[in-house]
Structure 1
Amino acid sequence: MSSTPRILIVEDDRAMRLSLIDLLEASEWCVEALPRAERLADRLEAFQPDVILSDVRMPGMSGLELLDSLDRDLSPPLVLISAHGDIAMAVDAMQRGAYSFVEKPYEPRRLLNILRHAADQHAMRRTTERLKSRLMQLSGLDRVLLGQTRETAALREEVLDLSQSGAAVMLQGETGTGKELVARALHDLGTDGTGPFLALNCAALSVEGFEAEMFGAEGGAKGRLQGADGGTLFLDEICSCPMPVQAKLLRVIEDKQVLPLGAGAAVPLAFRVISATNEDPEQAVREGRLRADLLYRLNTTVIALPTLRQRRDDVMLLAARFLDEFARVYETRVPDLGPEDSAALLAHDWPGNVRELRSVCERRVLSARRGGGSMAQALHRDSLADDVPDTLRAAVAAFERELIAKAITAHEGKMEAVAEALGIGRRTLNEKIVKLGLDKEALL
């Protein structure tokens, strides 16, 4: 460690406490000592030790009880020291999360080595956490997967950890939880992030003509699957894929090649596979709607996406983000949220999850543009009839503005892809953006 390590000692025996202080200060540690474990919680945040050294048997809270009270994810490592130790106690302490166990009388060099290694491990963990946090900020992951709840933070951590692995990932979650959003985040942060991202709606795949469309034909157009080469193949609604198509997809995933119709040689492909479903895939296998061998190829790692009901504390944060976004799109002010609006949002069950919340916020902005509305009204689709612009020209402009804004967001500002998706030329797209007063940067 480059900086002076910090240690917090908890020892009720005064002579032993002073002995440990002398040893550690002589070894250039920054030391603070307490006679009782109950006082440790008050000093942890203020002192921020790299390691805790605690006696086991003390009046009041014991060292093992102190160990159980600590948050393993946030607290520094705990080393226990005792004159009454035995093998069973040491094993129990380690199983409960202690970094190490030392018997009294201790051997100074061995104790110092254990404490140094524990402090080094804590420093490495903190460095890793800082790097992850910085990577999330640089990649925009904290902006894409917005939220402050434990469930959202855990999802961001999981996406960050799995993005570099290249392993097949299956995303499970209710409709509207953001499965494609997570799939794109895994792709963008991965080693092939600059490669293509091919999304296939498996429920819409046709048995007839599948090979011609997906594999291509000799002397003709390339198959769609070749568009995933060097990037990511995203199979959405995999449980709704027709069974004959499943067999052909399995062969492509296993062999990483396609044979165009009429061709004599296969075309090799390299891609990562990410799949998604809003069903229980095991149940789909039992019902004969999903091949077991395909499932086992796809579910190397599974990410369960939380519902909006599970992350209810994120509702107001997400609503503020969506209201601001749509206010920019429709060139109006952000509606103020009063207590009744907040109550309506928090009381709703959100069966459509984040996607439903986004639509509600869009309806609220459209109502505000006409000088009225509330979140309670926006939660009911019938209010949408009142949001139609007065003139055909205004209606067309509003529709174009919405369509272009959504395309810019979906394609992350890549204007060539936006123009292609909208079926217009790049120059025409630029002219419309200027005419409609769209702010590209505000949408990203």
Structure 2
Amino acid sequence: MNLLVVEDDAPLAELFVGIAEKRGLRASRAATIAEGRARIEAGDDIEILLTDMRLPDGSGIDLIEWTRKADPRIVILAITAFGSIEIAVRAVRQGAYDFLTKPVEPAVLGVALDRAMEARRLRGEVEALRGALATENALRGIIGKSRALADITSVVRRVADSPATVLVTGPSGSGKELVARALHEASRRKDAPFVAVNAAAIPETLLESELFGYKKGAFTDARQDKKGIFVEADGGTLFLDEIGDLPLVLQAKILRVLEEREVRPLGATRSAPVDVRVVAATNHDLRKAVKEGRFREDLFYRLAVIEIAIPPLRDRPEDILPLAEHFLGRAKARAGLSLQGFSGAAARVLMAYDWPGNVRELENAVERAVALAQDEWISPDDLPPTVQKPSTPDLFASAAERMMTLDEVDRAYVKHVLERFGGNKVRAAAALGINRRTIQRWLGEEE
């Protein structure tokens, strides 16, 4: 394992390095926080960090906090001649694994290093298990390591065999159809049809006949019987995408099918039973649509027996690289290429981008990179320009253009940060350095 010692006292640093090397560690030195950060950023695969608390260019607490964010796998040991309970507590709270006080006995440091090595091994095993779990949970393309994806996968497994309808919500491109397919593939219906229909893509005049079918002679061009999509999906799963765009008249007919489990084609005199598991999806706020009278309340509750919400990709950054690697593997196989993967710089660009188009935009970006790659490693230059240098709206330029007051700017910025944290006032307040009540006051809400 690799150890980095950050200590400005050269003889003491050499002593620490010698003790570490006797324990089988590959040890190196840095005298300042800047040098230590540079070594970690350089990708030297540092696994254990031993740092002094008093350094020429700042506090070891700052280095600990930065390291925890840069690479949480690194096990950190804090050491200082100015030891106190307060400093120890601060170091541990910021992420230090253990705390030692100078003068340190070689035997004591040796034991601490042994424990740190064991902790690093355990962290590695946990990471490996998480990776294996992520692979196991990749049901029909649900790829990722985030807690949100794990929760979604858990729900999918638990309700797969239930006849209850499912409503999948999330922004465009977030993978709603993948979740629907996962529900189908994990169920006893997996050998029956999975039929997907986008309600927004079919003209309103044709939608009823597509959904329910028609009998010969039902209208001028009905020269023969046609099965509707509900009948085509009989025994399997019907995925109704963009359900929020259905006109109210058709919403009533969909509700009747769900309640009676039978469908009547246009021009037919009798209904026929159907055994279909319906999974609906939308990127709209259906609760708001219900309040505004654009969506039937009874249909909403019939559809949302089980609701699965997919967060936007920006809210689950842990999923970006696993998804990118998945898309890379698929794209290079289709292209017959032997690309190695993403360079470190390209990976950082992917992680820094906000992905407004979500998973679909990421997939398109990776396919473009594979097509343009000139080396075995994908570089930032292979990625779309919008990903390399994302444009962000200038709040202050907009405020100046509109001649907003300072109070209006404050409120606009608070709302922007609140949206970034999904409406979570506690997290938004922490990011803004204020308390939750201040946010409520600025937004004009009652406490």
TM-score for the superposition, normalised by structure 2:
0.52
Residue 271 to residue 353, structure 1, CA distance change in 2 (3 Å): same
Pair 1:189-2:189 in alignment: no
Root mean square deviation, CA, Å: 2.8
Residues in 2 aligned to 1:234 and 1:176: alpha-carbon distance in whole angstroms: 16
Answer whether contact 2:140 2:178 (CA < 8 A) is retained.
Answer: no
How far residue 205 of structure 1 moved from its aligned partner, in angstroms, is 3.6
How far residue 210 of structure 1 moved from its aligned partner, in angstroms, is 3.7
Q: How does 1:133-212 map to 2 (within 5 A)?
A: 137=136, 141-142=138-139, 144-212=141-209
Answer whether contact 1:240 1:289 (CA < 8 A) is retained.
Answer: no
Residues in 2 aligned to 1:180 and 1:354: alpha-carbon distance in whole angstroms: 12
Match of 1:261, SS? coil
How far residue 361 of structure 1 moved from its aligned partner, in angstroms, is 0.7
Residues in 2 aligned to 1:321 and 1:211: alpha-carbon distance in whole angstroms: 38
How far residue 172 of structure 1 moved from its aligned partner, in angstroms, is 0.9
**Aligned partner letter, 2:215:** E
Residue 273 to residue 143, structure 1, CA distance change in 2 (3 Å): closer
Q: How does 1:32-431 map to 2 (within 5 A)?
A: 137=136, 141-142=138-139, 144-219=141-216, 220-334=225-339, 336-368=341-373, 374-375=379-380, 377-380=382-385
Match of 2:167, SS? strand
**Aligned partner letter, 1:269:** V
How far residue 158 of structure 1 moved from its aligned partner, in angstroms, is 1.2
Answer whether contact 2:199 2:207 (CA < 8 A) is retained.
Answer: no
Q: Residue in 2 aligned with 1:9?
A: none
Gaps of 5+ in 1: 1-129, 384-444
Residues in 2 aligned to 1:160 and 1:135: alpha-carbon distance in whole angstroms: 14
Between stretches 349-358 and 261-270, larger displacement belongs to 261-270
**Aligned partner letter, 1:231:** G
Residues in 2 aligned to 1:143 and 1:241: alpha-carbon distance in whole angstroms: 27
**Aligned partner letter, 2:309:** A
Instruction: Summarize deviations over 1:405-431 as a string: whole Å, max 9, x none.
Output: xxxxxxxxxxxxxxxxxxxxxxxxxxx
Instruction: Summarize deviations over 1:297-318 as a string: whole Å, max 9, x none.
Output: 1001111112222221222222
Residues in 2 aligned to 1:342 and 1:171: alpha-carbon distance in whole angstroms: 30
How far residue 342 of structure 1 moved from its aligned partner, in angstroms, is 1.8
**Aligned partner letter, 1:217:** Y
How far residue 372 of structure 1 moved from its aligned partner, in angstroms, is 9.6
Match of 1:362, SS? helix
How far residue 217 of structure 1 moved from its aligned partner, in angstroms, is 2.8
Instruction: Summarize deviations over 1:127-147 as a string: whole Å, max 9, x none.
Output: xxx9xx99984xx74562122
**Aligned partner letter, 2:199:** C
How far residue 346 of structure 1 moved from its aligned partner, in angstroms, is 1.1
How far residue 345 of structure 1 moved from its aligned partner, in angstroms, is 0.8
Match of 2:196, SS? strand
How far residue 288 of structure 1 moved from its aligned partner, in angstroms, is 2.2
Between stretches 283-292 and 198-207, larger displacement belongs to 198-207
Residues in 2 aligned to 1:183 and 1:143: alpha-carbon distance in whole angstroms: 9
Residue 336 to residue 227, structure 1, CA distance change in 2 (3 Å): closer
Residue 306 to residue 382, structure 1, CA distance change in 2 (3 Å): closer
Residues in 2 aligned to 1:382 and 1:157: alpha-carbon distance in whole angstroms: 32
**Aligned partner letter, 2:169:** Q
Number of aligned residue pairs:
250
Answer whether contact 2:168 2:176 (CA < 8 A) is retained.
Answer: yes
Instruction: Summarize deviations over 1:68-112 as a string: whole Å, max 9, x none.
Output: xxxxxxxxxxxxxxxxxxxxxxxxxxxxxxxxxxxxxxxxxxxxx
Residue 334 to residue 370, structure 1, CA distance change in 2 (3 Å): closer
How far residue 243 of structure 1 moved from its aligned partner, in angstroms, is 2.0
Q: Residue in 1 aligned with 2:41?
A: none
Residue 155 to residue 261, structure 1, CA distance change in 2 (3 Å): closer
Between stretches 201-210 and 171-180, larger displacement belongs to 201-210
Identity of aligned residues (%): 40
Residues in 2 aligned to 1:146 and 1:372: alpha-carbon distance in whole angstroms: 22
Match of 2:279, SS? strand
How far residue 382 of structure 1 moved from its aligned partner, in angstroms, is 11
Residue 207 to residue 361, structure 1, CA distance change in 2 (3 Å): closer
Residues in 1 aligned to 2:133 and 2:386: alpha-carbon distance in whole angstroms: 41
Residue 365 to residue 134, structure 1, CA distance change in 2 (3 Å): closer
Instruction: Summarize deviations over 1:374-417 as a string: whole Å, max 9, x none.
Output: 3355232699xxxxxxxxxxxxxxxxxxxxxxxxxxxxxxxxxx
Residues in 1 aligned to 2:187 and 2:215: alpha-carbon distance in whole angstroms: 32
**Aligned partner letter, 1:287:** E
Gaps of 5+ in 2: 1-128, 217-224, 389-447
**Aligned partner letter, 1:155:** I
TM-score for the superposition, normalised by structure 1:
0.52
Residues in 1 aligned to 2:157 and 2:135: alpha-carbon distance in whole angstroms: 8
Match of 1:198, SS? strand
Answer whether contact 1:360 1:375 (CA < 8 A) is retained.
Answer: no
Residues in 2 aligned to 1:342 and 1:134: alpha-carbon distance in whole angstroms: 22
How far residue 249 of structure 1 moved from its aligned partner, in angstroms, is 1.5
Answer whether contact 2:212 2:265 (CA < 8 A) is retained.
Answer: yes
Residues in 2 aligned to 1:134 and 1:348: alpha-carbon distance in whole angstroms: 26
Match of 1:309, SS? helix
How far residue 166 of structure 1 moved from its aligned partner, in angstroms, is 1.8
How far residue 338 of structure 1 moved from its aligned partner, in angstroms, is 2.4
Residue 382 to residue 158, structure 1, CA distance change in 2 (3 Å): closer
